[in-house]
């Protein structure tokens, strides 16, 4: 074990980990990022090939660095990868790639020991869990599922439609991924969308402006979960009209969720059966935090936290959780705001340990990293209007 005590170790090198690193620097703490992948670009390279952002470039940035090019375009997945790569470079912090954290345990004086898959143990005052959820897809278990001999997968494993050419496919789910993937498959396969409730839609554009403009100007983007769920009772799919039209015209048939599997297909709620080659579950994700189990920080896999701050372990922080502090928490545009918030609590904790605090001052000049925000709480405004 190395004797050095790091002020903060960030687990995960995606947008959440990078936003945490940026917030740490702004708070005067030099972070170390441990990332299991080859590059600090999160899960974006693993999302399906045709994916474009649901928000325009101007509303899809981390603090201090705009997207290049037209701010009103909807960047492709690969542009996000490139953006995060450049963001990480400009941050100039230590990022150890191909390094998976396998356990976080209690350390000395209320700190933490962070164990990696290489067998290293790093000591830290604070830990930020920024490992997303893509590594933990949620797959429900339905009657007869184990008998089904067809191709059953989560949408996390879906990359492109061509392998489904000419096949009969059911996509399960009523969210953005389900509808986008099912729609894409209509050009290649005989596809049915299976949902428990009718699909609901949110207009992508209102009065000639993207929805995200209105979320920004009305402040809706910062509303906490209870308020948002009172206003919008059901999950809804962002739509320019094409998905709605595809479902109502029958181009993308939608059926009430099937009740069970058979050996070669599904039984629909009206008792009819269909032979099906593939079933794709777009049924969401759960936090990917196994490495925190040894600490006792989880309740059945779910972090015990409020607003990203552990309620059981001081100095343990979370970023990128769904609705962590607002509607925008798990997005490119929202995570920077949360990062500034949680890091302020850790900076106060480190400052109470004077020896560490001196050690923690960043050495890189701020000119080498994305421009610091003038006001920490406006950090995610990025290239906003
Ligand atoms: C299909 C899809 C489309 C989306 N579209 C949008 C969109 O248009 N706009 C938007 O703002 N948001 C979108 N999101 C939501 C969100 O912005 C992304 O999921 C984003 O990738 C989350 O970033 P993250 O850093 O929290 O997690 P990830 O991107 O998942 O990054 C976490 C990283 O941590 C690493 N890791 C995991 N476990 C460990 C470990 N134990 N030790 C070390 N490293 C580890 C992983 O390698 C991973 O790369 C989308 C999500 C999905 C699934």
Q: Which domains does the chain have, with CATH numbers?
A: 8-136+285-349 (3.50.50.60), 140-199+238-281 (3.50.50.60)
Q: Which of 223, 180, 236 is nearest to 328 (CA)?
A: 223
For ligand 1, atom 4, the nearest C-alpha belongs to: 53
Residue 384, Cβ density class (10 Å: 0-12 exposed, 13-18 middle, ≥19 buried): middle
pTM to 2 decimal places? 0.91
Query: What separation in angstroms does the CA of 322 have from each of 41, 303, 331, 338?
Result: 19, 12, 9, 12
How far, in Å, from the CA of 372 to the mean position of ligand 1?
23
**Ligand 1 near 183 CB (within 6 A):** no
Q: What is the mean pLDDT of residues 219-225?
A: 86
Q: Two tokens at 66?
A: 């705009």
Q: Would you give the DSSP letter of residue 258?
A: P
Q: Is the CB of 130 under 6 A from ligand 1?
A: yes
Q: Is 42 in the pocket of ligand 1 (CB under 6 A)?
A: yes
Of 3-12, 142-151, 195-204, 360-369, the least confident = 360-369
Average pLDDT over every residue of 262-267: 98
Half-sphere exposure of 121 (CA within 13 A, CB side): 11
Q: Best mutation site among 15, 58, 97, 287 for ligand 1, i.e. most ligand atoms within 8 A of its Cβ?
A: 15
pLDDT in tens, 40-88: 999 999 999 999 999 999 999 999 999 999 999 999 999 999 999 999 9
User: How many Å lie between the centroid of ligand 1 and the Cα of residue 275?
Assistant: 35
pLDDT at 95: 98
Give the span between the Cα atoms of 380 and 376, in whole angstroms.
9
Q: Calculate how far, in angstroms, residue 182's C-alpha sits from the geometric centre of ligand 1.
A: 22
Return d(Cα 301, Cα 289) in angstroms, integer. Answer: 7
Say if residues 26 and 66 touch (Cβ distance below 8 Å).
no
pLDDT value, residue 178: 98
Long-range contacts of 301-309 (CB under 8 A, 24+ apart): 303/129, 307/338, 307/341, 307/342, 308/338, 308/341, 308/342, 309/342, 309/345
Helix (H) or strand (E) holding 349: helix 335-351
Supply 311's token pair.
């309620």
**Does the CB atom of residue 35 touch ligand 1 within 6 A?**
yes
Higher per-residue pLDDT: 108 or 119 = 119
What kind and span of H or E run contains 191?
Answer: strand 190-195
Mutate to test the pocket of ligand 1, among 43, 181, 281, 333 (most ligand atoms within 8 A of CB): 43
> What whole-number distance in Å separates Cα of residue 288 and Cα of residue 129?
9
Residues in the chain, overall count: 385
Residue 188 C-alpha to ligand 1 middle, in angstroms? 28
Decide whether any atom of ligand 1 lies within 6 Å of the 131 Cβ.
yes
Mean of the pLDDT values across residues 286-299?
96
Provide mean pLDDT across the span 141-146: 97
Does 11 contact ligand 1 (Cβ within 6 A)?
yes
């Amino acid at each position: 074990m190395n004797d050095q005590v790091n002020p903060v170790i960030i687990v995960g090198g995606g947008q959440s980990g990078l936003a945490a690193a940026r917030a740490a620097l702004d708070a005067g703490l030099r972070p170390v990022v441990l990332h299991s992948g080859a590059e600090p670009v999160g899960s974006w390279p693993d999302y399906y090939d045709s994916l474009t952002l649901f928000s325009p470039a101007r509303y899809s940035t981390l603090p201090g660095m705009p997207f290049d090019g037209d701010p009103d375009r909807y960047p492709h997945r690969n542009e996000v990868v490139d953006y995060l790569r450049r963001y990480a470079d400009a941050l100039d912090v230590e990022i150890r790639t191909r390094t998976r954290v396998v356990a976080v345990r209690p350390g000395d004086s209320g700190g933490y020991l962070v164990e990696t898959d290489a067998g290293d143990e790093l000591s830290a005052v604070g830990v930020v869990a920024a490992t997303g959820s893509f590594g933990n897809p949620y797959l429900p278990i339905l009657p007869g599922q184990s008998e089904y001999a067809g191709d059953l997968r989560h949408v996390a494993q879906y990359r492109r439609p061509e392998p489904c050419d000419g096949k009969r496919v059911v996509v399960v789910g009523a969210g953005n991924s389900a509808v986008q993937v099912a729609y894409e498959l209509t050009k290649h396969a005989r596809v049915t969308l299976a949902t428990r409730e009718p699909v609901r839609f949110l207009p992508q554009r209102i009065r000639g402006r993207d929805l995200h403009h209105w979320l920004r100007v009305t402040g809706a983007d910062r509303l906490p979960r209870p308020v948002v769920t009172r206003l919008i009772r059901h999950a809804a799919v962002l739509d320019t009209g094409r998905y709605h039209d595809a479902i109502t015209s029958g181009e993308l048939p939608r059926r009430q969720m099937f009740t069970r599997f058979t050996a070669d297909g599904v039984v629909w709620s009206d008792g009819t059966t269909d032979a099906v080659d593939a079933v794709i579950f777009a049924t969401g994700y759960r936090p990917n935090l196994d490495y925190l189990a040894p600490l006792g920080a989880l309740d059945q896999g779910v972090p015990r936290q409020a607003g990203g701050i552990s309620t059981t372990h001081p100095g343990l922080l979370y970023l990128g959780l769904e609705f962590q502090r607002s509607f925008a928490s798990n997005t490119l545009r929202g995570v920077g705001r949360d990062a500034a918030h949680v890091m302020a609590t850790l900076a106060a904790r480190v400052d109470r340990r004077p020896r560490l605090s001196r050690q923690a001052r960043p050495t890189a000049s701020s000119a080498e990293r994305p421009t610091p925000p003038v006001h920490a709480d406006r950090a995610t405004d990025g290239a906003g209007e």
